[in-house]
Amino acid sequence: MLGWNRVSRKTHLFAAWMLVLEANLSALWILLANSWMQHPAGGQIIQGRVRMVDFLAFFTNPYGWLKFLHTMFAGFVVAAFFVTGISAWHLLRRHSDFFLKSFRMAAVFGLISSFLVFLVGDEHAYEVAQTQPSKLAAMESYWDTKQPADYNLLVIP
C-alpha cells in the first residue's frame, strides 16, 4: 500500500512530516499575501500603485500571522472532530481499546484547539478593529454609527 514495502518506515515518517510542513508553509504564504492586501505592512504607494518595499515588515505582519494561526487551529478542530467521529463509530461496534484512546486524545486535542481558535479569533478581531474599523462594523452588521455601539449575540442582517 503506497510503497510500504519499497521504503523504510523512517522514510515514510519523514515524507509525512515534509507534507505537513509544506502544507502549512503554503497556507502561511497564501494568508500573508492576503493579509498584505488587507493591511499592506511594508508597502508604499509608488507611481499610484502600492508596492512592497520591506519584506521583513510583510513577513512579520501581525495581521497575517493571526489569520494563519486562526486557520491552523481551525484545521486542528476539524481533524479532531473527524478522528473523534471515526473512533466513536468503532466504539459503537465494540472494537478495540485503540479507538477509546484515539477518541479521548482527539476529544482533548479538539477542546484545546477550539479554545485556541476562540482566543486567536478574538485577538484577530481586535487587530481588525485597529486596522479596518469599517470592515469590523460590516462584520458585526452595524450599518449606522452609534456611540457606544450595542452588543449583539445574534444578528440577522
Would 37 be classed as within a structural domain? yes
Q: How many other β-carbons are positioned within 10 Å of the β-carbon of residue 99?
A: 19
Would 86 be classed as within a structural domain? yes
pLDDT score at 40: 85
Would 100 be classed as within a structural domain? yes
Band (pLDDT 50/70/90 cuts) for residue 36 is confident
Would 140 be classed as within a structural domain? no
Q: What is the pLDDT of residues 131-142, one digit of tens each?
A: 888 888 888 777
Q: How many other β-carbons are positioned within 10 Å of the β-carbon of residue 68?
A: 20
pTM: 0.78
Asked if pLDDT for residue 1 goes beyond 90, the answer is no
Number of domains the chain is built from: 1
> Which residue segment(s) compose the domain that 63 sits in?
9-134
pLDDT score at 2: 66
Would 54 be classed as within a structural domain? yes
What is the C-alpha to C-alpha distance for residues 93 and 56, in angstroms, rounded to an integer?
54
Band (pLDDT 50/70/90 cuts) for residue 43 is confident
Long-range contacts of 44-50 (CB under 8 A, 24+ apart): none
* Higher-confidence position of 142 and 33: 33
Would 72 be classed as within a structural domain? yes
Would 1 be classed as within a structural domain? no
Q: How many other β-carbons are positioned within 10 Å of the β-carbon of residue 87?
A: 21
Q: Which ranges of 39-143 does DSSP label H, i.e. alpha helix? A: 55-59, 62-92, 97-131, 133-139
Would 154 be classed as within a structural domain? no
Name which of 75, 72, 76, 78 is nearest 25 in CA terms.
Answer: 72
Asked if pLDDT for residue 71 goes beyond 70, the answer is yes
Pull the grid cell for residue 96: 478495540
Measured in degrees and rounded to the nearest 5, phi and psi for residue 44 equal -135, 150
| Mean pLDDT of all residues in 71-82 | 96
pLDDT score at 122: 92
